[in-house]
Each structure stands twice: as C-alpha cells, then as structure tokens.
Amino acid sequence: MDISVIIPAKDEQESIPELSQWISRVMETHGFSYEVLFVDDGSTDGTWKEIQNINLVNPAFKGIKFNRNFGKSAALHTAFKEAQGDVVITMDADLQDSPDEIPELYRLIKEDGFQLVSGWKKKRHDPISKTIPSKFFNYVTRKLSGIPLHDFNCGLKAYHNQVVKNISVYGEMHRYIPVMAKWAGFTKITEKVVEHRERKYGYSKFGWERFVRGFLDLLSITFIGRFAQRPMHFFWQLGHRFILFGMGFTIKILYDKIDSVFISKIPLKREVTE
C-alpha cells in the first residue's frame, strides 16, 4: 500500500464528509493505493456516525473510536500502530490542511529519500494570540533540538513507515515528533511550505493551556533524548554545578574571614586634637 492517511477528529462531523471526498479525489487522480484512518477522540456529536457512513461507501476509510477524549498524541500513537502504508501522512480533520499537498509529501519521502517531512504554515489564518506563542515555542524547540524547522506543531506531516513504527507518542508529545524521530536515529528531516486554510466549520479545540503543557513536554523530551541511555550524566552535570557553586561560596567566606583578621591586626593611628 502506498499511503496511510491518519486523521484525529474531535467533534468534526460537519467537515468529515467534505474532507473524505477531497482525499478520494486526490488519491484516485494520482493512482495511489491507500487507506484513511479516522480516530474519533471521544466526540460528542455525530462524528462517529459520519465515519461509519463513509466506510460503507468506501472501505478504504476506516475508523478507530475512543470512549472518551484521550488527546491527539494518543490518537496518533494508536493509528501509527495500525498504519500499513509505505508513507504515513497525518492531517487535521478541520479542513485547514489541504489534501492536495499529499502527492508532493509522498514524493519527498519515496523519491527524495527523506524520512520525515513537516508542513510549514508560512502564511497562517490564526489570531495573534496563537501565532506569537507558536513562534516562541518553535524558536525554543529549534534551539534545543538542533532541528531547523519553522512549524513543529503543524498537523500536516509525512513519515516513512519505519519512523512511526519506532517512536511512542504520549502526553502532548505530538508537537515534538520530529525531535523524537531524531533521537530514534531518523535524521533525514525537512519541511515543506503548505497551505493553511481558514476554518470552515466548528471551532478550535485548543486553548492557552496547551502552550504550558507543550513547554513542559519539550523539557521532558529533551531530558529523555539526552540522558535516557546515561541518566547518571544528568546527575553528574547537576552535581558538578552545585560543587562549583559551593566552592565559590566557600572561597568567598574564607576571603572575607582572612580579610577581616588582617584588618583587625593593623594598629590604629589615633590623632588627638586639643
């Protein structure tokens, strides 16, 4: 099979039929063999019913249903285990990612030999309350990971099948899959400018708290990547800093003590004026 498309969905019943038709047109036009794995992440609307209806028409569209909302990372982790395509492409269900990007993403993996291609929404249709924090976290992630990507959190990505089979996504780690891929030895990573479309239905499911969780997860993934095989190195580095601090503090105390003793032994010259 050429391609597996993975789409986490939370309360997206309005967009799923249109998205499915669009994906079908792209796949048929380019002659790809494919499967589409929808993951219903605890939807409370008719999302699961729409997925079932689409499966009856086209069995290439399959569904995985969670009984409650577990989050995007759990959805991707579950679908990664099921994916059969040589190339695995992830996208959001809200129609802000364009299926027309699929052929070029596939080519970059199969022909150009990249192991992971991350979308870059260079021109975004988001409020400044989302774009400014996003730029900050992307900058910090670039510096800590050494991976020169502009948009780590873009949902539109393409992977060689071996990448998704060798990483575990949990917590809020879906933002840092390129970092996890690099730590797992998959270093052929690039990015592609992709279209960011305005939301047509529904509303964003993410709030400010995701940035706090995202930053904490970035610290976690950095720690795991650098010290998972050598945990004592972390404690050595931490202890080394404390030792240097303690030595500096001790030297300062000794210096003050010696200085005060020296000064106390200097005879004072008294001048008496009448």
* Nearest C-alpha neighbor of 69 from the set 164, 200, 206, 177: 206
Look at 47-56, 71-80, 87-96, 252-261 and tell me which has the smallest mean pLDDT: 252-261
Kindly give the pairing relationship between strand 189-193 and strand 116-120: parallel
User: Where does 62-208 have alpha helices with state H?
Assistant: 72-82, 102-110, 128-145, 161-164, 177-183
> What residue type is assigned to position 250 of the chain?
T
Q: What is the CATH number of the domain that holds 206?
A: 3.90.550.10
- Residue at 90 is within a domain: yes
- Residue at 268 is within a domain: no
Mean pLDDT value across residues 22-38: 98
Average of per-residue pLDDT values in the chain: 83
| DSSP one-letter code for 166 | S
Torsion sign over Cα 12, 18, 24, 25 = negative
Taking the C-alpha atoms of residue 220 and residue 236, their distance in angstroms, rounded to an integer, is 18
| Tally of domains within the chain | 1
Residue 51 has pLDDT above 70, yes or no: yes
Residue 87 has pLDDT above 70, yes or no: yes
Host domain of residue 114: 3-227
Confidence (pLDDT) at 272: 47
- Residue at 131 is within a domain: yes
Taking the C-alpha atoms of residue 42 and residue 71, their distance in angstroms, rounded to an integer, is 9
- Residue at 265 is within a domain: no
User: Residues of the chain with pLDDT > 90: what percent?
Assistant: 56
Output the pTM of the full model.
0.76
- Residue at 128 is within a domain: yes
Taking the C-alpha atoms of residue 69 and residue 50, their distance in angstroms, rounded to an integer, is 18
pLDDT level of residue 234 (50, 70, 90 thresholds): very low
Mean pLDDT value across residues 232-239: 50
- Residue at 167 is within a domain: yes
Instruction: Give one word for 117, left, alpha or beta, with left for phi > 0 and alpha for psi -120 to 50.
Output: beta
- Residue at 251 is within a domain: no
Confidence (pLDDT) at 219: 65
Confidence (pLDDT) at 82: 97
- Residue at 133 is within a domain: yes
Taking the C-alpha atoms of residue 59 and residue 109, their distance in angstroms, rounded to an integer, is 26
